[in-house]
Amino acid sequence: MGNESTTWRLADLPFFAGLDEEFIELFADCAHTETTSFGHYLFFEGEPAERFYIIRTGKVALQTSAGSLGFFTIETLGDNDTIGWSWIFPPYKWSLTARSLSPCDLIVFDARCLRAKCEANTDFTYELMKRTSAVSAERLRAARFALLNQLA
Amino acid sequence: MPEQDQLFLFLRKNTFFDDLSDEHLRELLDLARLQSIPAGEHFMRIGDPATYLAVLRQGVANLGVMSEGGRVVVVDKLERHAVIGWSAIVPPHEWSYDAVALSELDFVLFDAVRLREKCEREHKFGVQMMTCIARTITRRLTATRMSLLNNAL
């Protein structure tokens, strides 16, 4: 990607709110768009995590294998949600499986490409970590409240 | 503080700070102060501004969600070495939980505003601090999801 229209589109996504154009361009350099049909597996638990996604439109379930009982949905994500931060830390493996629950328009970021940008630019890494931490913290809050509701 | 070296070793042993270099850990320590909280105090309230990151040196506390009747649904029991207050660094900078002291507590405490300013000003420090926090959040998220799964099956 990396063209001007893409840069503008990325800037409109909540994940990139307030981010310098210079950094948005670094993200754009590592991004491409993909469309998927219903029931498509984006990735499987335990596989190498080499991607990071933002859902432009659509729904994706994060699932975990419950052995012979099949898959259990942990969380359902929708428009503008980000998927996956397993690529940031070793061992760079997905901790969950992601499956589309509708046709989806996705922005896909190549993790190797982002990691290379991070190594070259601490300011970029900081912005990335700050945003990713905020997303994970939000997921943790959601999961803990789901757990409390389950216990109530 | 007279116990600077002792505090350094105390924090260095804490796996939470594994991603922080010795140099940055010493800088973090420059922001530290010691605080005690009496037993029974409800010292963190959901939705209030997160004003510090803290490491528990002594005492026991319950972390959870306060019900309307004043009962705490406990999510975690905090003991020596527990780190609380990553909300001090991660937006929206509000406490995600209630916390109540079960005994007198001694904390090493880092002021949230000064810590955030340091992260924003010195990105190398900021990245290491964020990494400590992100790893912890990820670990807790995995544990919470597994509990959800186990309860559902």
Q: What one-letter code names the amino acid at B75?
A: V
Question: Which residues in chain A come in under a pLDDT of 50?
Answer: 1-2
Q: Residue A43 in contact with residue A49, Cβ under 8 Å?
A: yes
pLDDT attached to residue B1 = 54
Say yes or no: A137 contacts chain B, CB-CB below 8 A. yes
Residues of B in contact with A66 (CB under 8 A): 149, 153
**B26-64 as b/e: b if 16+ CB within 10 A:** eebbebbeeeebeeeeebbeeeeebbbbbbbbebbbbbb
Closest B-chain CA to A147? B148
**Residues B54-74 pLDDT 10s:** 999 999 999 888 777 777 778
CB contact under 8 A, A147 and B123: no
Say yes or no: A125 contacts chain B, CB-CB below 8 A. yes
Q: Residue A82 in contact with residue A53, Cβ under 8 Å?
A: yes
Residue B121, CA distances (Å) to A123, B76, B85 in order: 10, 33, 20
pLDDT attached to residue A48 = 94
Return the residue matching tokens 């789901």.
A146
Tell me, what's the ipTM?
Answer: 0.85
**Residues B84-114 pLDDT 10s:** 998 999 988 999 889 999 999 999 999 999 9
Closest A-chain CA to B127? A126
pLDDT attached to residue A143 = 86
Closest A-chain CA to B152? A150
CB atoms within 10 A of CB B95: 19
**Residues B134-146 pLDDT 10s:** 988 888 888 888 8
Q: How many CA atoms lie within 13 A of B49 on its CB side?
A: 4
Say yes or no: A89 contacts chain B, CB-CB below 8 A. yes
Q: What are the tokens at A85?
A: 């931060």
In whole angstroms, what is the distance from residue A75 CA to residue B144 CA? 12
Best to test chain B binding among A69, A97, A123, A130 (most B CBs inside 10 Å): A130
Of B65, B131, B145, the CB nearest to A129: B131
Say yes or no: A17 contacts chain B, CB-CB below 8 A. no
Ordered alpha helix ranges (H), B13-111: 22-29
pLDDT attached to residue A2 = 46
In whole angstroms, what is the distance from residue B21 CA to residue B127 CA? 11
| End-to-end CA, chain B | 51
Of B86, B140, B153, the CB nearest to A66: B153
In whole angstroms, what is the distance from residue B60 CA to residue A31 CA? 47
pTM of the full structure: 0.87
Phi-psi category of residue A15: left, alpha or beta, with phi > 0 → left and psi -120 to 50 → alpha: alpha
Mean pLDDT of B30-50: 95
pLDDT attached to residue B74 = 83
pLDDT attached to residue A77 = 95
Residues of A in contact with B65 (CB under 8 A): 145, 148
In whole angstroms, what is the distance from residue A142 CA to residue A62 CA? 14
Measure in Å the smallest separation between the Cα of B28 and chain A Cα atoms.
17
Strands ordered across the beta sheet of B42-44: B42-44, B98-101, B61-66, B72-78
Phi-psi category of residue A70: left, alpha or beta, with phi > 0 → left and psi -120 to 50 → alpha: left
Mean pLDDT of B2-20: 91
